[in-house]
């Protein structure tokens, strides 16, 4: 039986396997919220900018930067506080020369303002006036429209394995459903006259099934869905039928048998076929 | 509000948090088959040896090693094949001087035999006789009883995160159910007047909820069970009630708010408390 010694190193075996595989990946559209560890089947593209409005990155005061030019601790700039930029809606007031609005981190910049002074760089003089102790440049402490993402920006490519931060990012852009590859169903066949259900007590010569569980765990960890095919005796017809049946309801199948020169898994006339 | 500037580096904050935490880990007993990524709450101890009988590690012939001493390609030893060790049950024949049994990888060694000759080191001369071209030492190509695991051996310790191979190993020993830590329920509260449901269209100043999904993904990845607490407005009473309610049905809670000096999440009289 020297022909049975024809074994290959793993990378060659894998290459040979892959050249014979026809991908049968099908896709499904699911809620992004439940897409952790799924694989994108369509590239995701931003449809809207992020942020969608100019946002403050600091707690402080929305200002016209030019009003602060030259300001220092020794010679502060004085601004009139005309109100507050509300969280969750657009400011109703615009900022004119010499004016400012209280603003919070993430708040929307009012019209007229082009920068934010950190609260730490200010001092209240009266209820409606502040001193600004440091100049800000236009755009300082402000996240501009589309600075994170612009409409049309490619976000994640086909084949990307979705991580927690990807889910958050997609939801931030309103991409609440996405198309992903279906989780591959991987059939597992345990084979061997000596193999028994782990819940049974082995008799001499018998061993408990391990492959269903260790390979099952690997399949689960890799994102597949396990189709356990049970334990099949060392009989070619039984193995063939079980494998055929299991493959009908799986995308791939793992079985271990005939790892050496023993031909007990096959009758000799079947080998001849 | 300088007292609000009291921030800590992450490791100090974590240490401070941990000194105030009372662990509330409860346990449950589950099927080992479904225990991937779960954390052991009891050390597992072997109750039986593995293997439970002397097993061949090769396809070949079970022999008395002394029968092969001195054998070589030039001067082979001749042995009478008296049968086959069946897979899955104990051999019915024992091996006497000058005799051998066909044996398969994983097969049970017959009484009398103490070694296995690889099939590659043999040649069939007749249907009932083989030449052995290489001597084997006692124990060669045989896995002894308890060589992998002895009864009483510690297998996995408390706190161990179960991997695919652990499931297989536990099942091999008949440890079909195990006691693990319950998956911690982690509540997530998204807070902020500006935060809206990602399925809605944001108006100026509004942003979609990201934390529920990115933190949710991190919780899920870490083995926790997400308890989404929804989006809470920047109002101390509302936040307090929502947090209390969520904590009642969670083991831990994550919320993000008040990350800077803004006090919009709390009314000033509440801060005073």
For A159, the token pair is: 């084949």
Residue A32 and residue B213: Cβ atoms within 8 Å?
A: yes
Residues A89 and A158 in one domain: no
> What does the alpha-carbon distance between residue B146 and residue B161 come to, in Å, rounded to a whole number?
25
CB distance from A68 to chain B under 8 Å? Answer: no
How close, in Å, is residue B228 to chain A by CA atoms?
11
Q: What is the per-residue pLDDT for B257?
A: 65
Q: What is the model's pLDDT at position B124?
A: 96
Cα angle A143-A144-A145, degrees, rounded to a multiple of 5: 125
- Across the interface, do B216 and A164 touch by the CB < 8 Å criterion? yes
The answer on B156 and B32 residing in a single domain is: yes
**Do A201 and A78 share a structural domain?**
no
Average pLDDT over residues B53-76: 96
Q: Which residue has the higher pLDDT, B133 or A22?
A: B133
Q: How far is A267 from chain B (nearest CA, A)?
A: 15
Please give the ipTM for the structure prediction: 0.82
Give mean pLDDT, residues A78-105.
Answer: 96
Q: With beta carbons less than 8 A apart as the criterion, state whether B182 and B247 touch.
A: no
The answer on A113 and A74 residing in a single domain is: yes
Q: How far apart are CA B171 and CA B191, in angstroms?
A: 46
- For B8-17, the pLDDT digits (tens) are 899 999 999 8
Residue with tokens 């079909």: B176
Average pLDDT on A19-26 reads: 82
Domain that holds residue A268: 2-25+183-272
The answer to whether the CB of A182 falls within 8 A of the CB of A27 is: yes
Distance between CA atoms of residues A9 and B23, nearest Å? 50
Residue contact A260–B163, C-beta within 8 A: no
Q: Given a cut of 90, is residue A271 above it in pLDDT?
A: no
Site of tokens 């926790």: B224
Contact residues on chain B for A164, CB-CB shorter than 8 A? 213-218, 220-221
Q: What are phi and psi of B93, to 5 degrees?
A: -105, 145
Query: What pLDDT is attached to residue B109?
Result: 97
Mean pLDDT of chain A: 91
Give the 3-state secondary structure of residue B215.
Answer: helix
Number of folded domains in chain B? 3
Any idea which of A152-156, A217-221, B23-27 has the lowest mean pLDDT?
B23-27
Nearest to A165 by CA among B187, B254, B200, B218: B218
- How many Å separate Cα A172 from the centre of its chain? 14
Preceding omega of B9 cis (within 30 degrees of 0):
no
Which run of H or E residues covers position A255? Answer: strand A252-255
Read off the pTM.
0.81
- List of chain B residues whose C-beta atoms are within 8 Å of the C-beta of residue A103: none
Number of H-type helices and E-type strands within chain A? 5, 17
Q: Given an 8 Å threshold on Cβ–Cβ distance, is B104 in contact with A207?
A: no
Q: Mark whether A129 and A235 lie in a shared domain.
A: no
Helix axes A164-172, B211-221, angle to 10 degrees: 160
Q: Are strands A195-196 and A207-208 parallel, antiparallel or unpaired?
A: parallel
pLDDT digits (tens, 9 = 90+) for B114-123: 999 999 999 9
- The secondary structure of chain B as a DSSP string is -GGGG----HHHHHHHHHHTPPP---EEEEEGGG-TT-BBSS-EE-SS-BSSS-EESSSEEEE-GGGGTT--SSS-EEEEEEEEPPTTS--SS-PPTTEEEEE-TTPBPPTT--EEEEGGGEEEEETTEEEE-S---TTTTEEPTTSSB-TT-EEE-TTPBPPHHHHHHHHHTT--EEEEEPPPEEEEEEE-TTEE-TTSPPPTT-EE--HHHHHHHHHHHTT-EEEEEEEE-S-HHHHHHHHHHHHHT-SEEEE----SS--TTS-HHHHH-
B57: DSSP letter: S
Across the interface, whether the CB atoms of B205 and A88 are under 8 A apart is answered yes
Instruction: Verify that A201 and A254 share a domain, yes or no.
Output: yes
Return left, alpha or beta for B152; rule: phi > 0 is left, psi -120 to 50 is alpha, else beta.
left
Confirm or reject contact between A202 and chain B (CB < 8 A): yes
pLDDT at A267 over 50: no
User: Is B207 part of the contact surface with chain A (CB cutoff 8 Å)?
Assistant: yes
Task: Report the pLDDT averaged over residues A182-199.
Answer: 94
Structural contact between residues A134 and A117, judged by C-beta atoms closer than 8 angstroms: yes
A121 shares a domain with A73 = yes
Confidence of residue B68 (pLDDT cuts 50, 70, 90): very high
Q: Using CA atoms, how far apart are residues A107 and A59, in angstroms rounded to an integer? A: 9
CB contact under 8 A, A86 and B169: no
- The Cα of B113 is separated from the nearest Cα of chain A by a number of Å equal to 15
Number of A–B residue contacts, CB under 8 Å: 198
pLDDT band for position A1 (50/70/90)?
very low
Q: How far is CA B61 from CA A5, B81, B151, in A?
A: 18, 9, 29
Any idea what the CATH number is for the domain that residue B35 is in?
3.90.105.10
Query: CA nearest A261 in B: which residue?
Result: B59
Please check the confidence at residue B232 and state whether its pLDDT lies above 70: yes
Model pLDDT for residues B148-184, shown as the tens digit of each residue: 999 999 999 999 999 999 999 999 999 999 999 999 9
For a pLDDT cut of 70, what percent of chain B falls above it?
92
Q: Do B205 and A108 touch (CB under 8 A)?
A: yes
- Averaged pLDDT for residues B93-110: 96
Q: Which residue has the higher pLDDT, B265 or B53?
A: B53
| Whether residues B46 and B59 fall in one domain | no
* Chain B nearest CA to A88, separation (Å): 3
Is it the case that residue A132 has pLDDT exceeding 60? yes
The DSSP element (H or E) to which B118 belongs, if any, is strand B115-118
State residue A22's pLDDT score: 79
Out of B106, B174, B262, name the one closest to residue A208 (CB). B174
Q: Would you list the DSSP string of B258-270?
A: --SS--TTS-HHH
How far apart are the two ends of chain A, measured CA to CA in Å? 15
Q: Which of B87, B195, B196, B238 to mutate to probe the A interface, most A CBs <10 Å? A: B87
- Does residue A258 sit at the B interface (CB-CB below 8 Å)? no
Tell me the DSSP string of B9-50: -HHHHHHHHHHTPPP---EEEEEGGG-TT-BBSS-EE-SS-B
Beta bridge partners of B132: B77, B122
| Same domain? B268 vs B206 | yes
The tokens for B268 are 């000033």
d(CA B249, CA B226): 11
Domain with B9 in it: what CATH number?
3.40.980.10
CB atoms inside a 10 Å sphere around CB A147 = 14
Contact status, residue B162 vs residue B43, Cβ threshold 8 Å: no
In this structure, what CATH number is given to the domain that contains residue B60?
Answer: 2.170.190.11
Residues 117-146 of B with CB under 8 A from A: 119-120
Structure confidence at residue A263 as a pLDDT band (50, 70, 90): low
Band (pLDDT 50/70/90 cuts) for residue B44 is very high
**Any CB–CB contact under 8 A between A110 and chain B?**
no
* Chain B residues inside the 8 Å CB shell of A264: 87, 104
- Chain B's closest residue to A195, CA to CA, is B88
For B88, the token pair is 């899955």
| Interatomic CA distance for residues A244 and A253, integer angstroms | 10
A168, A202, A264: residue with CB nearest B104: A264
Token pair, residue B183, equals 């998956």
- Taking CB atoms and an 8 Å cutoff, what residues of chain A touch B188? none
Residues B253 and B207 occupy one common structural domain:
yes
Phi, psi of B219 (to 5 degrees): -65, -45
Q: Which of A60, A69, A68 is nearest to A106 (CA)?
A: A60
Cis peptide before B159 (omega within 30 of 0): no
**CA–CA distances in Å: residue A182 to residues A164, A250, A251:** 19, 12, 10
Residue A137 shares a structural domain with residue A209: no
Closest residue on chain B to A2 (Cα): B120
* C-beta separation of A63 from A118 below 8 A: no
pLDDT of residue B198: 96
Give residue A270's Cα distance to chain centre.
Answer: 47
What's the pLDDT band for B270 if we cut at 50, 70, 90?
very low
Task: Answer yes or no: do A157 and A175 share one domain.
Answer: yes
């Amino acid at each position: 039986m020297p022909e049975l010694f024809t074994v290959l190193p793993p990378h060659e075996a894998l290459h040979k396997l892959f050249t014979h595989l026809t991908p049968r990946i099908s896709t499904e559209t699911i809620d992004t919220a439940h897409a952790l560890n799924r694989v994108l089947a369509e590239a995701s593209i931003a449809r809207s900018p992020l942020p969608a409005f100019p946002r403050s990155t600091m707690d402080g005061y929305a200002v016209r930067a030019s009003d602060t030019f030259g300001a220092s601790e020794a010679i502060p700039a004085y601004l009139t506080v005309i109100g507050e930029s509300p969280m969750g809606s657009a400011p109703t007031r615009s900022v004119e020369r010499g004016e400012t609005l209280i603003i919070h981190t993430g708040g929307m910049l009012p019209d007229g303002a082009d920068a934010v002074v950190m609260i730490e760089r200010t001092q209240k003089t009266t209820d409606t006036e502040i001193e600004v102790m440091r100049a800000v440049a236009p755009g300082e402490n402000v996240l501009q429209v589309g600075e994170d993402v612009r409409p049309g920006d490619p976000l994640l490519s086909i084949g990307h394995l979705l991580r927690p931060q990807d889910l958050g990012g997609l939801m931030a852009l309103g991409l609440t459903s996405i198309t992903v590859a279906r989780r591959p169903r991987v059939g597992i066949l345990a084979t061997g006259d000596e193999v028994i259900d782990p819940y049974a007590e082995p008799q001499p010569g018998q061993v408990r099934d391990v492959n269903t569980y260790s390979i099952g765990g690997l399949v689960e960890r890799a994102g597949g869905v396990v189709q356990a095919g049970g334990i099949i005796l060392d009989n070619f017809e039984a193995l063939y039928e079980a494998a055929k049946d299991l493959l009908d309801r799986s995308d791939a199948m793992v079985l271990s048998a005939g790892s050496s020169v023993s031909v007990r898994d096959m009758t000799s006339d079947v080998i001849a076929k």
